[in-house]
Chain A
């Protein structure tokens, strides 16, 4: 299973990569929206973790773009700030507040991937 991690923080990128690889996933990393789309197309991940606050593009737009391309790919919003209040939309397991404890994130990934 391939995970596309979209986050501009280098350390978090490394942390996620190592943690996910330990779980047995293949990890592909994008630092910005442009890379994210490119890799989404070329690498065809099975799941995406997406940070809302990206340097070049709004994470939600990216979310929409990806969903338009391949709607069945689960996308987990992983972000530092809880936007859930603003859109009830995000009151779903697709939305994760970043935490140093990655258990929740990992469980969500597993859950979403087993849906298929």
Chain B
């Protein structure tokens, strides 16, 4: 390019460039300016040339090219400065770039200063600055927040190297910033490294893990529980470049939680027991359940427990129930199975009853075999005597340790708690931790004492219940077995309950009587009967005992009615007892009759005696005279004798003499009679091995008193049986002969001696060592009384035959 062209270009640039260009020499003389400078000076270009820069600019506009150039003149380097000016109250910024111009000699002769208006740029810059300040402030605030947060706020890169560590982290974990930053997750315990990696990967994938409970290790090694939230740190592009974690020490919270759970468990245990108590009052089962609750495998409670009950009489502590799993695994299993939420109480009880904690398990049997007399000085007895609990941490160190427990159960440490009811010791509760060897703490002892109270209450309740149940049962038994009719009748005359005797007497089933009105059922009336004692009790609320004749029931009853009062004292009904004395009354009347009759009889006897004897004398001697006298005297004697006879007859009539005894006769079939008599002796016959041979003919009829005839026949049969001893044959025949029914009884016994035969029907005649000798006499009397007769054949050693003849039922014989 030639110089003219270059000059031309330079001129164009010089004039058209937006920037102001000014050339200064060392003395700040303006050598050249372009028109753009006018913006800065408000003077035309022509006024500026050769002027001093400082006069034109500097104070006036605030822009000072010579200041910029001064540095360039000094250093010879390019100098770019920014200046702020004020023009017409508007702030503006300019960037002055001073370039050194070297003359021909190479000396710095002038300086060209470009003045660029950067006001806009600066304004933006200010805006940015403002934002920057804000951001910085926010950042500072956040940093302050993070730094001062109580929570540990930690960030790490994807390899787990710590990149930030706040004060909270220092406090929580003990590591200082210096300790932590740059290190790999110092606070993660070794056993959690793997899970930590897992979490890390998830977060790196963009997941946010909130409220994770995990464990952390402090600088001093203490393990704490923390609640952790992990979030990914993303760059502007959204790529995860690190992990931010906020964690809080919740160890204390956890402790409180644990305590709550524990308390909850205790409560649920107690609830379980209370429910058990309500659910069963069977002492044995109840105790078993309670002890099961005490020996859980879930960390609360003990491994084994034995309940000793105190026998007051023998003054011995006797093992009553023992619950002890055989091993720790079994212990855990037991409680898991008994998870309270899933099973009903009865299910749990069933499980207990069949499981290892059941009655008669090895441990249970072992427990029940143990007996410690109160006289011995051991911890168990001490507990009972002093009514205080004891916690033996080491049996070897305690001289009073129960040797029997050590020997039989192999226990190393145990606790005993007294069971006190109303200030009396009813037993003691023994526990130990044989499996997990966990020492028994004060907490445990408190738990134990609480349980002891529950057990005591349970025992007392069950005992009381047993007593009540027993009393109820007894009452029930009495009520049912009493032969008198007993019932409860309400004040509205409704029958509430009855005993067996009532339904038996009325001949109606239970449900047909209960609920009905008493006057309907017992008296057949439609309204209350004034004479009934129940009615009177209802009116007067007092008890009554009366003899009542009840025609509806047919009989006489001693009836007692006692009022029953409810718990608040109001009258609710009566206990109504009726004893049937109809028979008694009859007998009494009979007795009175008999007595009267007896009295009469005695009178009669006396009268008979007093009158008859003289009559016998008079008549008897008159007869003798009559025989010895003749003529008139004979006649006189005869008259006397016959008159006496008349008197005797009158006497007989008066005294009601009947030669025949009073039989109650009816028409009967002799075959039936003899069969009935045979059945009476059947058992003895069978015992003796006697054979009965029957020859029964067709039935016929006789008019007799069946009971007396049977009595008569029975005597003969008994004699026959006794005459035979063992193994004989009894022949029984019935037939008709000579208009009479014949009973023939033959035996193969020892028979009757010839010389005794005539006397066998005599009273008190007997050839036996025992016996009244009246049997055959009675028989004879009865048969004769029926106008019958008896035949006897006998051969000593061979047997006897008795034939009883009873006239057939002829019309003539009927009265």
Contacts and interface: CB of A to CB of B under 8 A. Distances in A.
Chain A complexes with chain B:
yes
Given A71-B773, A81-B605, A90-B781, A101 B764 contact: no
Contact of B617 (A15, A63, A68, A97): A15
Nearest to B657: A82
B623 interface: yes
A56 interface: no
Contact of B622 (A11, A81, A91, A100): A100
Contacts of A80: 605, 608-609, 612-613, 616
Contacts of A74: 759, 762
Given A12-B616, A19-B624, A88-B782, 9 more contacts: A9-B617, A12-B617, A81-B655, A84-B661, A90-B781, A99-B616, A100-B618, A101-B619, A102-B620
Contacts of A90: 763, 781
Residue of B609, B616, B645 most packed against chain A (CB within 10 A) = B616
Contacts of A15: 616-617, 620-621, 624
Contacts of B708: 88
A111 to B, nearest CB: 11
Interface string A36-69: 0000000000000000010000000001100110
Q: Which A-B residue pairs are the 9 nearest by beta carbons?
A: A100-B619, A67-B764, A91-B781, A11-B617, A80-B612, A115-B758, A15-B620, A81-B608, A81-B605
A94 interface: yes
B781 A88 contact: yes
Interface of B: 604-605, 608-609, 612-624, 641, 644-645, 648, 652, 655, 657-659, 661-662, 708, 758-759, 761-766, 773-774, 777-778, 780-782, 784-785
A75 B784 CA distance: 19
Contact of A92 (B614, B621, B763): B763
A23 interface: no
B748 to A, nearest CB: 26
Contacts of A9: 613, 616-617
B645 A101 contact: yes
B756 to A, nearest CB: 8
Contacts, number: 116
A116 B813 CA distance: 34
B759 A92 contact: no
Given A71-B762, A72-B759, A115-B759, A91 B620 contact: no
B615 A53 contact: no
Interface in A67-116: 67-68, 71-72, 74-75, 80-82, 84-85, 88-92, 94, 97-102, 115-116
A92 B645 CA distance: 23
Given A63-B764, A80-B609, A88 B759 contact: no
Chain A: interface size category: 20 to 34
A35 interface: no
Contacts of A101: 619, 623, 645
A100 B616 contact: yes
Nearest to A78: B616
Contacts of B655: 81-82
20 contacts: A11-B614, A15-B617, A64-B764, A67-B762, A71-B766, A71-B773, A80-B609, A80-B612, A80-B613, A81-B655, A84-B659, A88-B778, A89-B777, A91-B785, A92-B763, A92-B777, A92-B784, A94-B763, A98-B612, A102-B620
B807 to A, nearest CB: 16
A18 interface: yes
A84 B782 CA distance: 11
Contacts of B782: 88, 91
Contacts of B621: 11, 15
Nearest to B617: A11
A81 B774 CA distance: 21
B232 to A, nearest CB: 127
Contact of A85 (B619, B662, B761, B765): B662
Residue of B614, B620, B658, B765 most packed against chain A (CB within 10 A) = B620
A99 B651 CA distance: 11
A116 B758 CA distance: 7
A67 to B, nearest CB: 3
B728 to A, nearest CB: 26
